[in-house]
Amino acid sequence: MAHEAAIAELRALLGERLVTTRADLDLHGQNETYYPFTPPDAVAYPETTEEVSGIVKICNAHRCPIVPYGAASSLEGQHLAVQGGISLDMNRMNKVLAVNGEDLNVVVQPGITRIALNEELRATGLFFSVDPGANASVGGMAATRASGTTAVRYGTMRDNVLALEAVMADGTVIRCGSGARKSSTGYDLAHLLIGSEGTLGIITELTLRLHGIPEAVAAATCRFPTVEDAVNCVILTIQSGLPMARIELLDEMMVRAFKSYAKADLPEVPHLFLEFHGSEAGVAEQMEVFGELARDFGAEGWKTATSTEERNALWAMRHKSHYASAAFGKGGHTWPTDVCVPISRLAEAVHQAQRDAQELGLTSTIVGHVGDGNFHVALSVNPDNADEMERAEKFTSALAETGLRLGGTVSGEHGIGLGKQKFMAAEHGPALHFMRAIKTAFDPNNILNPGKILPPMN
Amino acid sequence: MAHEAAIAELRALLGERLVTTRADLDLHGQNETYYPFTPPDAVAYPETTEEVSGIVKICNAHRCPIVPYGAASSLEGQHLAVQGGISLDMNRMNKVLAVNGEDLNVVVQPGITRIALNEELRATGLFFSVDPGANASVGGMAATRASGTTAVRYGTMRDNVLALEAVMADGTVIRCGSGARKSSTGYDLAHLLIGSEGTLGIITELTLRLHGIPEAVAAATCRFPTVEDAVNCVILTIQSGLPMARIELLDEMMVRAFKSYAKADLPEVPHLFLEFHGSEAGVAEQMEVFGELARDFGAEGWKTATSTEERNALWAMRHKSHYASAAFGKGGHTWPTDVCVPISRLAEAVHQAQRDAQELGLTSTIVGHVGDGNFHVALSVNPDNADEMERAEKFTSALAETGLRLGGTVSGEHGIGLGKQKFMAAEHGPALHFMRAIKTAFDPNNILNPGKILPPMN
């Protein structure tokens, strides 16, 4: 067995919470997308920060890789132990430690999922806004700098993590940030760790911003003649400063996938799914302003959903896009990818993506957080079909190039993980050297999620 | 002359834009507060990023300190060349490079001031929101993670810098971030550089977020029986989710200082200065909701200012608080300090500050961005009065302790610079080690603004 000595010491520390049974290893080797099955050598289930620190110290002494694991909903293989070692399953560290309603924040352990957190907050009149679709763990969301449908109004994890505690590669426990809403006291380590995908430190506690549940919420859908019309409507909406809470694009293929997967009753043309938050009068005003804008772009079939049930049904369907896309094609799997561009270039980016997929003979759906200039393409693939996988790879590279050519980034929210390392040099140029310098300074033995984010040196 | 060899090489590179005349050195050695006069050995005036890179390479080869200099409005001595060397005056790099109105951003050089930038944007219907009071350079604002009166609504520099270009200690030019509104592609170097006070890299270009000038803007003032009443009103306002654009506290001493400095016609009791942004209907609704809240806390004397002239006069007065405070006391100088706490602890923090100042026999004014839990205390001091300076020092330490005790930070926006290094260990604990590791990795010869942020090792 690899890493035998480390595992023996971890067993002495954790007892039955260090697991090497086949079923558990297999579970931790799976992923939602097209990455190969990659079981770790052992799974550790810490219950406290001190235990995480102890585990990391053992791993560091033995040069044993350690890979944080939350809800395993990451889309670029971030949670896979590609160099073996320990899968650090954070699901037992899933408690709400303090609800500070007066300060609009909550202190949590990283293993709690966003839905569980919002259930715990239900009585407070407050909510945690970040909604990537999947019921991800908040620790994983911070580690991948997640965002999702509501980021256009309430920000991404970058904006919603006030403070965090992390265990560093030598076992040191650090705290970054505070309960204050802002600070200017030195280097922003919290934001360095957010988005570092477990390669610089292991997040063991988070202070998250909360928002007041708005007095009024209304969701709506409408359809457009073409994707260009829908996207141009979004561009003008954002430019006009309308405080959209959600503004999601579904292309015609995505609508078709929903129709077959969720029996959605929608015409097969591009749609926008919308949500408005505010006072009763404010929401009414926003809907009126948006409605006028949308009509100029040929919007029709305006449907509103004001009851909680109707709204939940709408967003539940939206959140199934990943599975709807997987079921839509023949391969049964999906290769999801995302890109984010300045909003003025969004129509061009979407159009290029549709054309590239068509030219490569790929079945693809597009769904997007278009208010941020961010959209997803889900390619339907069969991982056993080498030719199709090669075309999918080509598509992903072309999309990344499109993102960079239009002044954007190769990922708005999925992160780098395994799949996008090859674009790091093109996006970051000489800055990549300084990322490597931080990794070397923080984790000289390269035990923290090795093989992620930073491409191998040539 | 110190650093003679470096200066000779710099002169060869820059010609007349490398200056060693007494007047210029003296100008660059001054500061707005109580720090000693500290002239550099030479002043360099670069005009391009390439020149900055060339300057840094020369300085790095000669181990010559290099200290970025913008508007010199920093309040913790950030721009002072305390270890000698070169003052890098960025004021010639003050151009707007691109206004991307459709993407709500602008690309600028770091030397432009926030007021000059907003003048250039006047015709676009957009504005740059961050307003620290002083007419700071945007490069300096990014370097110190500035915020100010509008941060409660539009965020700090952290939230409003989309991308930047920086020259690193070895002369490498890096770009971090893009024109896209979000990204999850590796370590967030942009946010590591924001707030690093020139110690990790020299910012040579910034892409800043812009906001649409709201349809309606109204400013207002009202007075409260006590500071507690005013602060408790603020706390409830923020908790209720009212989207305040500005909400500023002035304690009774600050009002008195304004009366004598700006001939303000205000009763000598605590005031809130407010601003509301939105649609006509939205602003009216916000003012009504706020008015109701405020009445419950004894607010009286409600005055509104809707014309641009009236509003500008109000905020111009507010922005003179630094000079009003300096003129208020007998010493003619001010020792400004700030702290930021979770908003629920704001009343306690303000009360403690007032009590500490009184007990130490200090004349002090309080003005604050209270919607963020951030406030400033300006102590009136005479730098030649050693006893008074010692009491001011005691006060500042007590305020920092109060901030930390209440779960906040020792500075919301002034930064660390020289004056607050002694609190870094207390605030950051073991995280400080990782800040040092970054500094060492990025600037091994310690040439970039040495002696700032990180306290000396003992």
Q: Which residues of B touch A285 (CB under 8 A)?
A: 279, 281-282
Min Cα separation A455/chain B (Å): 11
* A23 burial via Cβ count (<10 Å: 0-12, 13-18, 19+): exposed
Within a domain: B400? yes
Q: Which residues of B touch A184 (CB under 8 A)?
A: 144-147, 195, 411-416
Give Cα separations from A116 to A213, A301, B268, B418 (angstroms).
16, 35, 50, 45
Note whether B340 contacts A: Cβ–Cβ < 8 A: yes
SS3 B246: strand
Across the interface, whether the CB atoms of B182 and A238 are under 8 A apart is answered: no
Within a domain: A239? yes
Per-10-residue mean pLDDT of chain B, 458 residues long, equals 93 98 98 94 98 98 98 96 98 98 96 98 96 96 96 97 98 97 97 98 98 94 95 91 94 92 88 95 94 96 90 89 85 91 95 97 94 95 94 98 98 97 98 98 98 92
Residues B293 and B382 in one domain: no
Residues B282 and B227 in one domain: yes
Note whether B344 contacts A: Cβ–Cβ < 8 A: yes
Question: Please, where are the H alpha helices in A29-184?
Answer: 49-62, 114-120, 138-143, 151-154, 157-160
Note whether A342 contacts B: Cβ–Cβ < 8 A: yes
CA dihedral sign of residues B45, B51, B53, B55: negative
d(CA A441, CA B205): 27
First vs last Cα of chain B: how many Å apart? Answer: 30
SS3 A407: coil
Q: CA nearest B237 in A: which residue? A: A102
Within a domain: A447? no
Within a domain: B392? yes
d(CA B171, CA B192): 18
Residues A185 and A265 in one domain: no
Residues B283 and B337 in one domain: no
Give, in degrees to the nearest 5, the angle at Cα B317 between B314 and B318: 85
Min Cα separation A21/chain B (Å): 33
**Segments of chain A scoring below 50 in pLDDT:** none
With a CB cutoff of 8 Å and minimum separation 6, the contacts of A406 are A341, A342, A345, A348, A349
Q: CA nearest A102 in B: which residue? A: B344
Note whether A144 contacts B: Cβ–Cβ < 8 A: yes
With a CB cutoff of 8 Å and minimum separation 6, the contacts of A31 are A38, A72, A74, A77, A79, A80
Q: Which residues of B touch A407 (CB under 8 A)?
A: 178-180
Which of the listed residues A295, A321, A347 is the one where a domain comes to its end? A321
Contact B171, B105 (CB under 8 A): no
Which of the listed residues A405, A432, A452 is the one where a domain comes to its end? A405
With a CB cutoff of 8 Å and minimum separation 6, the contacts of A219 are A246, A273, A274, A275, A276, A304, A305, A306, A310, A311, A314, A315
Residues A345 and A312 in one domain: no
Q: CA nearest A178 in B: which residue? A: B408
d(CA B458, CA B452): 16
- The amino acid present at B446, given as its one-letter code, is N
Across the interface, whether the CB atoms of A281 and B285 are under 8 A apart is answered: yes
- Count of the separate structural domains present in chain B: 4
Min Cα separation B416/chain A (Å): 6
Residues A234 and A260 in one domain: yes
Interface test with B, best of A152, A164, A167, A182 (most B CBs within 10 A): A182
Contact B330, B364 (CB under 8 A): no
CB atoms within 10 A of CB B204: 26
Interface test with A, best of B182, B343, B372 (most A CBs within 10 A): B182
Which pair of structure tokens corresponds to residue A384?
């056993």
Indicate which CATH number applies to the domain containing A349.
3.30.70.2740
Which of the listed residues A212, A240, A256 is the one where a domain comes to its end? A212
Indicate which CATH number applies to the domain containing A34.
3.30.43.10
Interface confidence (ipTM) of the complex: 0.96
HSE-up (13 A, CA, CB side) for residue B157: 34
Contact A231, A181 (CB under 8 A): no
Note whether A427 contacts B: Cβ–Cβ < 8 A: yes
Min Cα separation A23/chain B (Å): 32
Helix (H) or strand (E) holding B323, with range, is helix B321-328
CA dihedral sign of residues A64, A65, A70, A71: negative
Helix (H) or strand (E) holding A174, with range, is strand A173-177
pLDDT value of residue B329: 79
Q: Which of A145, A184, A211 sits opposite B195 (nearest CB)?
A: A184
Residues A184 and A254 in one domain: no
What does the DSSP 8-state code read for residue B113? B
Which pair of structure tokens corresponds to residue B165?
């270009």
Backbone angles phi, psi at B367, to 5 degrees: -145, 140
d(CA B32, CA B24): 17
Q: CA nearest B434 in A: which residue? A: A442
Q: In chain A, which among 257-296 make CB contacts under 8 A with chain B?
A: 279, 281-282, 285
Within a domain: A452? no
Min Cα separation B322/chain A (Å): 19
Q: Which residues of A touch B176 (CB under 8 A)?
A: 428, 431
d(CA B157, CA B414): 12
Name the residue range of residue B79's domain.
4-89
Q: Which of B344, B410, B428 sits opposite A102 (nearest CB)?
A: B344
Q: In chain B, which among 163-182 make CB contacts under 8 A with chain A?
A: 168, 172-176, 178-182
d(CA A388, CA A380): 9
Residues A314 and A395 in one domain: no
* B404 burial via Cβ count (<10 Å: 0-12, 13-18, 19+): middle
Residues B12 and B47 in one domain: yes
Across the interface, whether the CB atoms of A184 and B453 are under 8 A apart is answered: no
Residues B101 and B206 in one domain: yes
Q: Which of A240, A285, A438 sits opposite B438 (nearest CB)?
A: A438
Note whether B413 contacts A: Cβ–Cβ < 8 A: yes
Backbone angles phi, psi at B408, to 5 degrees: -110, -145
CA dihedral sign of residues B376, A100, B427, B435: negative
Backbone angles phi, psi at A240, to 5 degrees: -80, -5
pLDDT value of residue B332: 80
Q: Which residues of A touch B236 (CB under 8 A)?
A: none
Residues A154 and A189 in one domain: yes
CB atoms within 10 A of CB B147: 30
Interface test with A, best of B183, B339, B372 (most A CBs within 10 A): B183
Within a domain: B138? yes
Q: CA nearest B437 in A: which residue? A: A441
Q: Which residues of B touch A413 (CB under 8 A)?
A: 182, 184
Residues A80 and A106 in one domain: no
Min Cα separation B191/chain A (Å): 7
Task: Please give the sequence-ordered ranges of beta strands (E in DSSP) within B12-62, or none if there are none.
Answer: 18-19, 42-44
Min Cα separation B211/chain A (Å): 8
Q: Which of A102, A156, A416 sits opposite B186 (nearest CB)?
A: A416
pLDDT value of residue B239: 85
Q: In chain B, which among 16-55 make CB contacts under 8 A with chain A?
A: none
Residue for token pair 């690309």: B107
Indicate which CATH number applies to the domain containing B157.
3.30.465.10
Q: In chain A, which among 110-139 make CB contacts under 8 A with chain B?
A: none
Across the interface, whether the CB atoms of A431 and B189 are under 8 A apart is answered: yes
Note whether B343 contacts A: Cβ–Cβ < 8 A: yes
| Residue closest to B286 by CA, chosen among B246, B313, B226, B231 | B246
Interface test with B, best of A183, A242, A405, A411 (most B CBs within 10 A): A183
pLDDT value of residue A2: 85
